[in-house]
Amino acid sequence: MAMRPRRPLSLLATAALAAPLLAGCGSSTSASSADAGGTEAAGFPASVERCDRRITVDAPPQRIASLNQGSTEILLSLGLADRMVGAAGWTDPILPSLADENEKVDRLADQAPSFEELLATEPDLVTASFANTLSEGGVATPQQLADVGVPAYLSAAECEKSDFGGGDGARDRPLEMSTIYAEVRDLAALTGTEERGEEVVSSLQQRLAAASRTPFDDVSVFYWFANAEAPYGAGCCGGPGIVTRALGLTNVFEDQQAEWPQIGWESIAAADPDVLVIGDLTRKSQTAESARAKIAFLESNPVTRRMTAVREKRYVLLPGAALNPSIRTVDAVETVAEGLRSLGYEPS
């Protein structure tokens, strides 16, 4: 990715950490978004409510920082690259269709930037896909950002979780695509790109309808995100749950409400799923991130190599970002359907 030159961090961080100065930056952004006559932009101030918080922007944001790839790809889909000051939290390369726009945006960090690095970008809106990014122990809490005059938006999909603790959290009810559409519409409302937001939602709806028109029957699957020693496998109710229901599949760990419970290989081998849906990640924070590393493990481990799916090499590969709730969830439905056909499975 091309990187734009940055000013020295020490000077920027010192300035950005001062709340009055940040507030001043916010007021100048509002002024720049007004028309020549000095009137405020139509539709602003704009607000949305998520996670029991009201997020309000006084004018169309001009310096947006995204802390997770899913959020970044929505913002780029809304045509906001020129209004973004940085992105972080990457598991995979950007969607090819967004690559040119992504070249315009600085990469703040492969994973999480520090609070000071975030503030050095002088953001007027911060977005994130995961609660562990906008929380104690993450980059910052929403309140810490509010204290320096910066609104922070956490994804609608994350706000529906019943339990934010214990890793990736859990859900009381299955995630639906309507919640992902809501996130697109939220970000469109906060950035004044509602018309484009509806175009993005409409395209996703049409693609999902086409991909799920002829579901598969009697095909069991296991979704493996990462980690070789105690693998993170999909429970019932996150992004993979949408794929499972759309294609009429059976998740062998459908009884797990945690988003990504860690499951022992003995239990996975005992379930003996027909197909393994394997996350192909480029990050380096867990063991067995790439599909190549995962398959090498599966085919050498004495427990896993006896599984039917391993012996017959029934693998479907997905980027890690497609396994998290995002606009890529539709890509996941399409890719899994195509992968099953390539393995000889036919829709009913």
Closest residue by Cα to residue 69 from 239, 209, 211: 239
Q: How many residues does the chain have?
A: 348
- Domain 215-342 fold is Rossmann fold (3.40.50)
Instruction: For residue 53, give the 3-state DSSP assignment.
Output: strand
Per-residue model confidence (pLDDT) at position 16? 39
What percentage of the chain exceeds 70 in pLDDT?
A: 87
Per-residue model confidence (pLDDT) at position 25? 32
Instruction: For residue 17, give the 3-state DSSP assignment.
Output: coil
Asked if 298 and 310 count as a contact pair (C-beta separation under 8 A), the reply is: yes
Per-residue model confidence (pLDDT) at position 167? 60
Band (13; pLDDT cuts 50, 70, 90): very low
Asked if 97 and 203 count as a contact pair (C-beta separation under 8 A), the reply is: no
State in Å, rounded, how far the first CA of the chain is from the last one.
Answer: 43
Instruction: For residue 25, give the 3-state DSSP assignment.
Output: helix
Per-residue model confidence (pLDDT) at position 348? 81
Q: What is the mean pLDDT of residues 307-323?
A: 97
Asked if 92 and 320 count as a contact pair (C-beta separation under 8 A), the reply is: yes
Per-residue model confidence (pLDDT) at position 1? 33
Tokens 């004495």: give the residue: 302
Per-residue model confidence (pLDDT) at position 42? 87
Per-residue model confidence (pLDDT) at position 20? 32
What percentage of the chain exceeds 90 in pLDDT?
A: 84
Per-residue model confidence (pLDDT) at position 162? 87
Instruction: For residue 135, give the 3-state DSSP assignment.
Output: coil
Q: What is the mean pLDDT of residues 207-233?
A: 96
Asked if 237 and 175 count as a contact pair (C-beta separation under 8 A), the reply is: yes
CA distances from 42 to 4, 35, 37, 84, 193 (A): 31, 10, 13, 21, 11
Instruction: For residue 279, give the 3-state DSSP assignment.
Output: strand
* Distance (Å, whole) CA 119 – CA 142: 13
Number of other CB atoms surrounding residue 293 within 10 Å:
17
Cis peptide before 45 (omega within 30 of 0): yes
Per-residue model confidence (pLDDT) at position 29? 34
pLDDT tens, position by position, 30-56: 333 333 333 468 889 999 999 999 999
Q: What is the mean pLDDT of the chain?
A: 89
* Distance (Å, whole) CA 309 – CA 249: 15
Q: Where are the alpha helices (DSSP H) in the chain?
A: 9-16, 19-33, 69-77, 99-102, 115-120, 142-147, 156-159, 177-191, 194-211, 239-247, 265-271, 291-300, 308-311, 320-323, 328-342
Band (3; pLDDT cuts 50, 70, 90): very low
Closest residue by Cα to residue 257 from 242, 230, 238, 270: 238
Q: Is residue 45 exposed (0-12), middle (13-18) or buried (19+ Cβ within 10 Å)?
A: exposed
Domain with CATH 3.40.50.1980 in the chain: 51-206, 215-342
* Distance (Å, whole) CA 320 – CA 82: 26
Is residue 9 pLDDT above 50, yes or no? no
Band (14; pLDDT cuts 50, 70, 90): very low
* Distance (Å, whole) CA 17 – CA 117: 10
* Distance (Å, whole) CA 55 – CA 345: 46
Tokens 């020490």: give the residue: 10
Q: Which CATH class, in words, describes the domain spanning 51-206?
A: alpha beta
Q: What is the mean pLDDT of residues 51-76?
A: 97
Per-residue model confidence (pLDDT) at position 40? 66
Asked if 247 and 336 count as a contact pair (C-beta separation under 8 A), the reply is: yes
Band (165; pLDDT cuts 50, 70, 90): low
Per-residue model confidence (pLDDT) at position 41? 83
Per-residue model confidence (pLDDT) at position 163? 76
